[in-house]
Structure 1
Amino acid sequence: MMMIPAVMAACEAQAPMAEDFIPDYQGVETKLLDGDLVQFNVAMTKARSAENVADYAECAAARYTLIRGFGFARHVRTNVEIVGGVWHADAVYTISPSLPRGLKTIDAEVTVQNCMERGIPTV
């Protein structure tokens, strides 16, 4: 009878550990589409929402913008999907040396700093 409690205990659900909630950023693929139009494909696990994956793509876009010698980017679109437990975002941004028109613009330097403070990797 001593074995029954041990077997039953092994079947109980384990309490989540802290690392179960730490996002696992799995990389960025960057593709120059045309001149100033750039596509970013990112993947991660343990995202809490589609917004987490979109933020990862934005951080990649901000760093790429700085690497290319520009200061600003404008968000065009982001598509998010989950495949086999992995979150994927396909995001497109335009990059430019001056603040572009539009509502969804980012200052690349400020955004990269914000990403670093939040622990989100960039390119």
Structure 2
Amino acid sequence: MKAAWIITALPLAACDPVPTAEQFIPDYRGIETQLLADDLVQFDVEMTNAITMRDVEDYAECAAAGYTLIRGWGFARHLRTNVYEEAGVWKADAVYTISPALPRGIRTIDAEVVAAACAERGIPTV
């Protein structure tokens, strides 16, 4: 006697929708700056379609680079970044010191170099 095979199909309605290309294109929703002291600035950024937390951190760094250049200075030093996601919207608040000369520390950025890299990647600055 031959064995009978029974094949069951999973209902298609139970499957997750197939991602679209638009879901992988970052949507940068804005930058707010708050001057905390003459050389201390907080950047609040918001975006959707971030793949990782690093995408949001990069957006905040680009904001810091642009702001530093607007102030006529050349360097910034990262102090902290808090990243969180709520209902598909990624937010970060980052604090940087800005200065005309290279500051001490290991997390420093050359604002001109970083702003150029941000422009190449399509990430907005201030």
Distance across 2 between alignment mates of 1:26 and 1:89: 12
Partner of 2:107: 104
What number of residue pairs does the alignment pair up? Answer: 116
Q: Which has the larger radius of gyration?
A: 2
For residue 21 of structure 2, what is the aligned residue in structure 1? 18
Moved over 2 A (4+): 8-15
Q: 1:83 aligns with which of 82, 86, 91?
A: 86
Q: TM-score of the superposition, structure 1-length normalised? A: 0.88
**Alignment identity in percent?**
66
- 2:53 counterpart letter in structure 1: A
Q: How far does residue 15 in structure 1 lie from its aligned partner after superposition?
A: 2.5
- The DSSP-based 3-state class of the residue aligned with 1:78 is strand
More helix by percentage: 1
Which amino acid letter does the alignment assign opposite residue 57 of structure 1?
A: A
Instruction: Output the TM-score relative to the length of structure 2.
Output: 0.86
Amino acid at match of 1:122: T
Structure 1 CA distance for aligned equivalents of residues 122 and 62 of structure 2: 10
Name the CA shift for 1:50/1:9 in 2 (closer, same or farther; >3 Å): closer
Q: Distance in 2 between matches of 1:119 and 1:94?
A: 24
Structure 1 residue 14: deviation in Å?
3.8
Computed over aligned residues only, the root mean square deviation of the Cα atoms, in angstroms, reads 1.4
Equivalent residue of 1:99, what SS?
Answer: coil
Q: Structure 2 regions of 5+ residues with no counterpart?
A: 1-10
Which consecutive residues of structure 1, in runs of 5 or more, have no partner in the other structure? 1-7
